[in-house]
Every structure is written in C-alpha cells, then in structure tokens.
Chain A
C-alpha cells in the first residue's frame, strides 16, 4: 500500500512507430483495449439477445431485446417529434450502449475508456458534424453562415464561440463526470487502505504486520459510494450525452 495517492492513468501497452508528423506514434492504450472489450460485450449481447427470434410466443430474452429497440425508437421519436430522424436511432443507441458499458466497466476493475478525453472528444466531434450537416441541409450553406449573424452582426464572434462550445461542453461534461468517479473511487480505496493499515497495524507482532497489508476496510463502503459515482453517474452521463445529441440535431432541423 503506497503512502502517496496516484490516479489510475491509462496505461500504454504498445507503441507502433508510424512516423506521421502530426498524428505521432500510435499508442495502443488501455483506453483502446477496453473500448474493444466494450464493443465485443455489446455486440455479443446483441447476438445473444436476437437468437432464434419468433413472431409469436416469444421468450423473455426476445421481449427484452424488443424492449430495448422500442426504447431506442421511442427515445429518438419522442425527442424529435416524429419519424424524420429514424436514421439516427442506431447511432444514438450505439452511443448510449457504448457510453453506459464503458462507464460501468470500471466496476469490474478495468479502466473506463470514457475516462479518456479522446473518446468523448471523438464522439462530440461526430455529433457536432451531424448538427452542422443538419443545419446546412435545412437552411442551405448561405443560411447556415447567415445564422451566425443573428440577431445582429456584432454577435457573430459570440455565436461562433457558442457553436464551438457545444462539442467542447458535451465532451468535457461526460469526461469530467467519469474521471471524477475514477478519482473519487481511487481516493476512497486509497484512504480506506491507509485506514485499515493504521488500524490493523496496532495489532502487535506478525499478525498485525500481515493484516495491515490487506485493505480490509475497503470491503463494503466502495460498493455504496459506487452506486452514485459509478452506476448513477455513468448512466446519467450516457443519457445526457444522447439526449443532447438528439436535441441538438432536432433543433438544427427546425431552425429556419
């Protein structure tokens, strides 16, 4: 048990030298490995849930899969007010599933890929491109540019700033919440480890020395705090990210 607190950084397993100037070397980090694990989990779950589908007399598994699909459909349709954005449903569902599983995978001891800003930045940029594309599709390119000068031309720089703030805030909100969960979990484990070392160190002799190395107090309390910092925060942030995605795109289509 180390005396100083260290945050759980994303480890770099391999470095592939690419020699590309701007991008630099390709680091296979913990983030990427766990992302792939998350993808395998989600896809495996999808395949498992949709095994031997039937029209009538369905199994509980199929009912659950249908519920998931209906939930995704309703989520997008209710928030955009129609079936105009049905093409978004798989995207939003994939985003939500990836986000939730990534957030909750920290419960099994892996490092969440969402505790890496690059992940959320990637997602936010994709969403930003979608919002912009929808705006241009709705109003035309001229209309899109003109939209920055409303209500008066002086507001243009602020409008551009607020436009850019959308992906930045989305990425940072999600990242910050998950990272704070990681940090707080780490702190709680560290503090409880120190506390149990101090407590059992009071026992004299070899027994005390042995027991003080095991963070016995670490059993129990992290499960309780994890309900909020992992479960609630993880699900909430995934929901907020998807909600914002749908809302922003729906709003972009309405502006005229």
Chain B
C-alpha cells in the first residue's frame, strides 16, 4: 500500500505533452466511444423507443377503436333511419287504410240511413194514405149515421116544402157522390 502510494505520487509527477497523439489513448478512446454507444443504446434508446412504440400502438389502437365505433354508430344510424322511414310509410298506409275504411263505413251508413229513411217515408206515406182512407170511410159512416139521425129528427119535426126539397136534393147529391 505504502509502496503503491509512493509509486502513484511518483508517477503523478509525470505529465504528457500538451499536443500529442498517444497511440494507446487513441485506441482506448475509440473503444470507449463504442462502449458508450452500446451503453447509451441499451440504457436510453432501447427503453425509450420501446415506450414510444408502445404509446404509438396504444394511440393507434384508440384511434382504430374510435373509428370502428364511429362506423358502427353510422351503420346503426342509417339502420334507424331506414326503419324510421319504413315506419313512417307504414303509418301513412295504415292511416290511409283506416281513412278509407272509415269512409266506406260512413258511406254505407249513410246509404243505409237513406234507404231506411226512404222506407220509413214510404211506409209513412202508405200509413197516411190508409189513415186518410180510414178517416174518409169513418166520415162516410159518420155522415150516414148523421144523415139517419137528421132524417129521424127531420121526420119528427115539421118540414116545409122548401126544406123538404133541399133535403132530398142533398141526399141525392150525397148518394151520387
């Protein structure tokens, strides 16, 4: 140890020239440079580039997924739009169908009602006619009985020549009618 220290201090007194090319230093520095290249590659570039690559892949993946989701959403949207359009068309056709049916039904109802009204009217007319006939007949009967009553009363009463004549004429007219 002591010897080494002495040797060190003795050697340390020696210096190399200021501007000189020392072959060994030259060679060792080249080797040092390549060792440094290897070390910097191994400890800085390799891990960092791996991380950058990973991050790039991750970003790519996210973008790819986002694009996929977008495409899916687009296709869903178009699907919805299609179904919505068909639903609209269906609804329209249903409505028009219903309208048509309703119209038909209404028409039918109106027609039936008209028919019914017509039949009712016809019946009413017939009834009225019958009633009229019946009334006339009843009146005739009434008149006959009235005439009989009047005749009876007239017979009881004193009739003059003129009344007599007139009565006979009326009677004849009535019977003739």
Interface size of A by Cβ–Cβ distance < 8 Å?
Answer: 56
Nearest chain B CB to A151's CB is how many angstroms away?
A: 34
| Contact yes or no, B47 A50, CB < 8 A | yes
By beta carbon, the residue of chain B nearest A12 is B14
Segment with Cβ contacts to A, from B50-58, B106-114, B133-141, B147-155: B50-58
In the complex, A138 has a CB within 8 A of chain B: no
Q: A133 within 8 Å of B by Cβ? A: no
Interface residues of A in 174-195 (CB under 8 A from B): 175, 179
Partner of B26, one of A36, A97, A118: A118
* B-binding segment of A119-127, A199-207, A210-218, A228-236: A119-127
Decide if B158 is an interface residue (CB 8 Å cutoff).
Answer: no
A11 touches B15 (CB 8 A): yes
User: Smallest CB-CB separation from A114: which chain B residue?
Assistant: B29
Known: A65-B44, A90-B45, A123-B29. Contact between A10 and B21, CB under 8 A? no
Contact B27 A122 (CB under 8 A): yes
Q: How far is the CB of B105 from chain A (nearest CB, A)?
A: 71
Per DSSP, chain B at the interface is helix
Do B30 and A122 have beta carbons less than 8 Å apart?
A: yes
How far does the alpha carbon of A24 sit from the alpha carbon of B26 in the complex, in Å?
12
Give the nearest-CB partner of B44 in chain A.
A46
B47 & A29 in contact (Cβ 8 Å cutoff):
no
Q: Which of A39-57 contact B (CB under 8 A)?
A: 39, 42-43, 46-47, 49-50, 53-56
Structural contact, A39 and B35, CB atoms closer than 8 A: yes
Of B20, B28, B47, B48, most A-chain CB atoms within 10 Å: B48
In Å, the complex CA distance between A36 and B45 comes to: 21
Q: CA A14 – CA B16 in complex, angstroms?
A: 12
A116/B24 in contact, CB under 8 A: no
| Per-position binary interface string of chain B over residues 5-31, scored 1 when its CB falls under 8 Å from any chain A CB and 0 otherwise | 001100110111111111111111110
Contact assessment for A95 and B33 in the assembled complex, using a CB-CB cutoff below 8 Å:
yes
- Report if B67 contacts A (CB, 8 A): no
The 6 A-B residue pairs with the shortest CB-CB distance in the complex, in nearest-first order: A9-B15, A118-B25, A46-B43, A122-B29, A90-B41, A46-B44
User: Which residues does B use to contact A, with CB under 8 Å?
Assistant: 7-8, 11-12, 14-30, 32-33, 35-37, 39-41, 43-45, 47-52, 54-55, 58
- Other than A53-B51, A116-B25, give 14 A-B pairs with Cβ distance below 8 A: A10-B16, A12-B14, A35-B32, A39-B39, A46-B39, A46-B44, A50-B47, A72-B45, A90-B45, A91-B37, A94-B36, A94-B40, A118-B20, A123-B29
What are 15 pairs between A and B in contact, CB < 8 Å?
A: A9-B18, A11-B15, A12-B15, A14-B11, A15-B11, A22-B23, A27-B16, A39-B36, A66-B52, A90-B45, A94-B39, A98-B32, A122-B30, A122-B33, A179-B19
